[in-house]
Amino acid sequence: MTPAHDAVATAGADAHPRIVAALIRITGDWTLAEDCAQDALSAALLRWPRDGVPANPGGWLMTTARNRAVDVLRRAAVERRTLHELAALVPDHTDGPAQEGIVDDRLRLVFTCCHPALAPEARVALTLRTVCGVPTADIARVLLVTESAMTRRLTRAKTRIAQAGIPYRVPEGAALQERLPGVLAVLYVLFTTGYDTDGEPAFAEEAIRLARLLGSLLPGRAEVVALLALFLLQHSRRAARRDADGALVPLDRQDRTRWDHAAIDEALAALATVEGDGPYALQARIAARHATAADVATTDWAGIAHCYDALAALGPSPVVELNRAVAHGYAHGPDAGLALLTQLRAAGGLDEGVATTVEADLVARQGRAAEAAALFRRAAGLARTASERQALLVRADALHPDR
């Protein structure tokens, strides 16, 4: 990539949500806004390598997109008021918290894309497409639908926003407090879609960027800070999570020097400002204990087990419960972990593949190698992805080679 191409990518990532959000606010036309933002990027790719990168790249993109919108709307003979407002649209480049009374367009866009009256899968897709500017084909590939199905889903969501009367607004007061968790949940899904073993790492980075944006636009919200800290801590392990062949490396075998320590430091500093025990704060505190331990043996497992107890009390979920059994197994011995696992199995609802992996690990730590290997092989048969299956078979063979 040339410096000019780099400049387009960098300025585009920053300017895209700004441009789309401002054009939607004035024209109310989502598709027009996306097309014009895209046109501006294409124009930059043509012009910047030839003419040089402009002094204010984001402002250049905004002006170009705005002029394009004016052209399109003039041809469609829309009312003069819209054209006047567009003409008055000045590229604004102040970052940081929105000034008193002035709501950042990007925040409006995020809250509208994450509105609870949209289907959950539509919220994720719309946020990726409209706020992050991810091409429809890429979203379709990662969310495992065809491109035409994704195009239809996005079109339906945009139509629904107009028809159902979903406002283009950031809720205020108590309503903001009510709606923020839904927005954070979309970011969480985005991140895990990127972080999952066979996922798209770029989506994890988009989620981090969005969490940063929310944090700067809505300062002082503990759960936003906690979510960003959680993302940074998980993402800090990305380089160590796979070996040279692309196979998954479990936490206990990861080369901790390959973790992104700058990201860890940033997350720890952010987490230190968070009071209270919301779901993301608890998960971030767990991740922080892993991130600051020299190895598995010296990890603060009692602290982690305590956080999982608190998470399970907030709202029990099979994944939390299984991790709780793992943590108790390390904190209070494998017998304690197995006892908890037996209780959880009796209650039902567990993912049997993951439950068997947890059981195998605990049994291995009791010193029963052959039984543990058999359990790992059984778990491999239940694994959902090829890389998980491979990792489980490697563990089985290490304990007790299969003849």
Partner 1 sequence: MRYMMFVCTDPEPDADTTDDAEAWVRTNDAAARRVDGDRLGPVSAATTVRVRGGELLVTDGPFAETKELIVGYDVLECADLDEAIEVARAHPMARIGRLELRPFWSP
Applying CB under 8 A, the residues found at the interface with partner 1 are 115, 117, 163-167, 169, 171, 175
At 353, the amino acid letter reads G
In the bound complex, what is the minimum distance in angstroms from residue 348's beta carbon to partner 1?
21
In the bound complex, what is the minimum distance in angstroms from residue 253's beta carbon to partner 1?
48
Spell out the SS3 assignment of 378-389.
Answer: HHHHHCCCHHHH
- 48 Rama class: left (phi>0) / alpha (psi -120 to 50) / beta: alpha
Nearer to partner 1, 165 or 220 (CB): 165
In the bound complex, what is the minimum distance in angstroms from residue 162's beta carbon to partner 1?
9
What is the spatial distance between Cα 214 and Cα 226, in angstroms, rounded to a whole number?
Answer: 12
Whether the Cβ atoms of residue 141 and residue 80 lie closer than 8 Å to each other:
no
In the bound complex, what is the minimum distance in angstroms from residue 88's beta carbon to partner 1?
24
Q: C-alpha 85: how far from its chain's center?
A: 34
In the bound complex, what is the minimum distance in angstroms from residue 317's beta carbon to partner 1?
22
Helix axes 30-51, 57-75, angle to 10 degrees: 130
What is the spatial distance between Cα 22 and Cα 273, in angstroms, rounded to a whole number?
Answer: 33
Count, residues in the chain: 403
Nearer to partner 1, 110 or 248 (CB): 110
Nearer to partner 1, 166 or 222 (CB): 166
Rounded to a whole number of angstroms, the distance between the first and last alpha carbons of the chain is 51
In the bound complex, what is the minimum distance in angstroms from residue 164's beta carbon to partner 1?
5
Nearer to partner 1, 112 or 193 (CB): 112
Nearer to partner 1, 36 or 186 (CB): 186
In the bound complex, what is the minimum distance in angstroms from residue 160's beta carbon to partner 1?
10
What is the spatial distance between Cα 291 and Cα 298, in angstroms, rounded to a whole number?
Answer: 12
Closest CA to 197 of 389, 385, 394, 395: 385
In the bound complex, what is the minimum distance in angstroms from residue 223's beta carbon to partner 1?
21
Q: Residue 133 in 3-state DSSP?
A: coil
Residue 188: both structure tokens together: 């969480």
What is the spatial distance between Cα 6 and Cα 8, in angstroms, rounded to a whole number?
Answer: 5
What is the spatial distance between Cα 216 and Cα 94, in angstroms, rounded to a whole number?
Answer: 11
What is the spatial distance between Cα 182 and Cα 166, in angstroms, rounded to a whole number?
Answer: 15
Nearer to partner 1, 178 or 255 (CB): 178
Nearer to partner 1, 111 or 280 (CB): 111
Nearer to partner 1, 25 or 368 (CB): 25
